[in-house]
Each structure stands twice: as structure tokens, then as C-alpha cells.
């Protein structure tokens, strides 16, 4: 089963990325799996602050490796080093009706969410066309994605169907989504963990940084004093107890409801669980940080392997549309 997915290099990876996506990648890596660092996609929104993209690529690869992705079991590569992505995207852009892109709900949501950036650009509107090329270039059958990416995957299927219909070929399998089983991860302010909200716990954070962030974390807003009974279900700290301190959640909930524990102690217990979870990742991350040449070799090898597959598909597509005999 061929699998393709990727990450936009907009900074270091956080716990939301790990539990929402990278863990899934790790489970799939025994398959014929390709994982890209989608730097073209980063440029669609970061074209004005582009100086960080290349550094962020290395951060993401380091986080991939620290999280347990094994280059012997999967192909890790940089999107812009496989030029076939933009070439196939160019072919797809010829056949994708503008209305398909304009009606895309993720596009509309992102325009609102990233309202501080000028995103009325050709590249940003065409993001799903490039994504369709990313997936179809590898003839991927399965694509691990978050819920917000489902409309893009549907568009990739529509592009494949239209291509087949227009050129009388059947060359792309219709890719199916693999949804993550982990619920969304909350940030320190109780909203979804996201770089744009500045509420993240990063894989690269030290144990002390994690403790500092958890100390400032939001709790049940109605619990103002130690003797007030709390409601753990509205508390993001409790939410994280379920993820990182699962053996003790019933006690935490009971003691919170009965005002038998204070929020400071509760946070420190959760932070200890989170640090236990993060420690092996942190250790591997520190090791990989000192192995930049090895990382470059992994990427070179990954890009070579990706280009072998991508080149073949692009050739077929060029023939189908009449650009090659």
C-alpha cells in the first residue's frame, strides 16, 4: 500500500503535530510510505517571511527522526527538491476549474484565520492543486490527514477523475484518507494547539520549559480558590492528564470535584507525565541535532528515491496530455 503525507515547515513540531499526524506516520512506515517536508506549501503563506523556511525544513526532519520515523522504513524527502511536484501541479492547474478552488471550505477558513497576511494570491488559491500533484505523483492509495484537509483530498480525487476523463487514461488510484485516532490536542490556553495561537508545547522544549508553560496553563475558570470544587471536564490540564497521566485520571477528576487537590500540584503532576512522555523524544532530538551531515544524507537518499517514482508518473502524465510522444 503506497502512503504519502507531509508537513509544512513553518517551525518546530509541537505535541499537536506529534499526536495528530506524526504518530500515524510512524505506524505506517512499514508500508511503502513517503513523507515529505512540504516547503512549497510553506511558501504559499510564508512568502513574506521566507528567511526561515530552509532552517525550518531541518527542524522538521530532526523532529521526524526524533519521533521515531526510520529512514530505513520510509522515504523522507523535501518537496522542492523533487521538481516533478510543480510540473504535475502545472498540468493539473490547466484542468482544474477555478470554481473548485474558490468553493473550498479550507481556503475560506484559512483566509479568515490568517487575516493578517495577504493571501489573495494565485499560489494560495492553487494550494490544493499542488497537494493533488503531491499525492497523485506517487499514486498514493492512503493519505494520513487531519479533518481540515479532507476537502483537499476530495479535490485530489476530483482532479484524478477529470484527468482520466479528459485524456482517456486510468493512471491514478483514488487516494483514501487515514484519519488520526487522537482527538485534537489542546494548547496551554485551552484552544487547539497551534503555532498561530502561541500556545504550543514543542518537542524541542526542555523539561524546565514544559514545566514553565504548564504552570501558566488555563484551568477551570470557575475555580477561583483552593476550596472551590472544580469541573475537570472544562479544564485543559485535566484533558492532558488523560493523554499523559492516564493511570491516575479518575483520582485527578475525583480530587478536583471535591476540592481535594490544588491546581498547582495538579499541573505539576501532569507536567511530570508529559515530560516522561517527551524525554525519549528529547534525547533522540539532541542526538540528531549533532548529526546534520547524516540528516543531509537521509534527505539526499529520500529525494533520489522520490524522484524515481515521481519521474515515471510525470512522464506518463506528459504523454497523456500530449506534451511527449
Residue 213, interface with ligand SF4 (CB under 6 A)?
no
Q: Which run of H or E residues covers position 40?
A: helix 39-46
Phi, psi angle pair for 36, to nearest 5°: -110, 155
Give the residue, chosen from 18, 133, 143, 256, that forms a contact with ligand SF4 under the rule CB under 6 A. Answer: 256
53 to 92, contacts with ligand SF4 by CB under 6 A? none
d(CA 143, CA 132) in angstroms, rounded, equals: 11
* Interacting span for ligand SF4 (CB under 6 A) from 121-129, 170-178, 179-187, 216-224: 216-224
CB of 228 to ligand SF4, least distance (A): 9
Question: Which value, in Å, is the radius of gyration of the alpha carbons in the chain?
Answer: 22
Instruction: Tell me how far CA of residue 272 lies from CA of 245, 253, 277, 286, in angstroms.
Output: 8, 17, 9, 20
The nearer residue to ligand SF4, 180 or 251, going by C-beta atoms, is 251
**What is the size of the binding site for ligand SF4 (CB under 6 A)?**
14
What SS3 class is residue 145?
strand
Q: Is 251 exposed, middle or buried (0-12, 13-18, 19+ CB in 10 A)?
A: middle
The nearer residue to ligand SF4, 211 or 321, going by C-beta atoms, is 211
226 to 255, contacts with ligand SF4 by CB under 6 A? 230, 232, 235, 237-238, 252
Residue 214, interface with ligand SF4 (CB under 6 A)?
no
CB of 278 to ligand SF4, least distance (A): 19
d(CA 160, CA 134) in angstroms, rounded, equals: 12
The nearer residue to ligand SF4, 149 or 219, going by C-beta atoms, is 219
Q: Which three cell numbers stand for residue 272?
A: 511530570
Phi, psi angle pair for 144, to nearest 5°: -70, 120
Residue 220, interface with ligand SF4 (CB under 6 A)?
yes
CB of 260 to ligand SF4, least distance (A): 9
d(CA 237, CA 260) in angstroms, rounded, equals: 16
Question: For residue 247, what is the DSSP state?
Answer: G
The nearer residue to ligand SF4, 204 or 235, going by C-beta atoms, is 235
Terminal-to-terminal C-alpha distance of the chain: 30
The nearer residue to ligand SF4, 71 or 232, going by C-beta atoms, is 232
The nearer residue to ligand SF4, 155 or 270, going by C-beta atoms, is 270
Q: How many CA atoms lie within 13 A of 108 on its CB side?
A: 8
Q: Where are the alpha helices (DSSP H) in 139-220?
A: 150-167, 207-215
The nearer residue to ligand SF4, 237 or 278, going by C-beta atoms, is 237
* Interacting span for ligand SF4 (CB under 6 A) from 49-57, 165-173, 217-225, 273-281: 217-225
The nearer residue to ligand SF4, 26 or 223, going by C-beta atoms, is 223
Residue 219, interface with ligand SF4 (CB under 6 A)?
yes
181 to 210, contacts with ligand SF4 by CB under 6 A? none
What SS3 class is residue 287?
helix
Binding-site ranges for ligand SF4 (CB under 6 A) = 219-220, 223, 230, 232, 235, 237-238, 252, 256, 261, 263, 266-267
Amino acid at each position: 500500500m503506497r502512503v504519502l503525507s507531509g508537513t509544512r515547515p513553518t517551525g518546530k513540531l509541537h505535541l499537536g503535530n506529534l499526536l495528530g499526524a506524526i504518530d500515524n506516520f510512524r505506524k505506517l512506515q512499514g508500508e511503502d510510505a513517503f513523507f515529505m517536508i512540504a516547503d512549497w506549501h510553506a511558501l504559499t503563506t510564508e512568502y513574506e517571511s521566507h528567511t526561515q523556511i530552509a532552517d525550518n525544513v531541518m527542524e522538521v526532519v530532526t523532529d521526524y527522526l526524533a519521533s521515531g520515523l526510520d529512514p530505513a522504513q520510509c522515504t523522507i524527502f523535501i518537496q522542492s527538491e523533487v521538481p516533478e511536484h510543480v510540473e504535475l501541479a502545472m498540468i493539473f492547474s490547466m484542468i482544474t476549474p477555478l470554481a473548485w478552488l474558490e468553493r473550498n471550505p479550507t481556503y475560506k477558513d484559512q483566509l479568515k484565520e490568517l487575516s493578517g497576511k495577504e493571501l489573495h494570491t494565485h499560489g494560495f488559491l492553487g494550494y490544493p492543486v499542488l497537494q493533488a500533484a503531491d499525492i497523485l505523483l506517487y499514486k498514493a492509495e492512503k493519505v494520513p490527514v487531519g479533518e481540515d484537509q479532507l476537502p483537499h483530498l476530495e479535490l485530489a480525487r476530483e482532479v484524478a477523475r477529470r484527468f482520466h476523463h479528459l485524456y482517456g487514461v486510468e493512471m491514478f488510484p483514488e487516494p483514501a484518507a487515514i484519519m488520526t485516532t487522537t482527538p485534537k490536542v489542546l494548547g496551554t490556553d485551552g484552544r487547539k494547539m497551534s503555532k498561530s495561537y502561541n500556545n504550543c508545547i514543542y518537542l524541542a522544549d526542555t523539561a524546565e520549559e514544559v514545566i514553565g508553560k504548564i504552570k501558566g496553563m488555563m484551568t477551570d475558570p470557575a475555580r477561583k480558590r483552593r476550596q472551590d470544587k472544580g469541573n475537570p471536564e472544562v479544564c485543559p490540564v485535566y484533558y492532558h492528564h488523560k493523554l499523559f497521566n492516564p493511570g491516575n485520571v479518575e483520582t485527578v477528576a475525583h480530587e478536583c470535584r471535591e476540592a481535594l487537590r490544588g491546581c498547582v500540584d495538579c499541573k505539576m503532576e501532569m507536567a511530570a507525565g508529559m515530560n516522561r512522555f517527551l524525554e525519549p523524544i528529547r534525547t533522540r532530538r539532541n542526538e540528531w541535532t549533532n548529526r546534520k551531515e547524516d540528516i543531509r544524507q537521509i534527505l539526499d537518499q529520500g529525494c533520489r528515491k522520490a524522484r524515481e517514482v515521481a519521474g515515471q508518473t510525470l512522464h506518463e502524465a506528459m504523454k497523456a496530455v500530449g506534451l511527449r510522444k
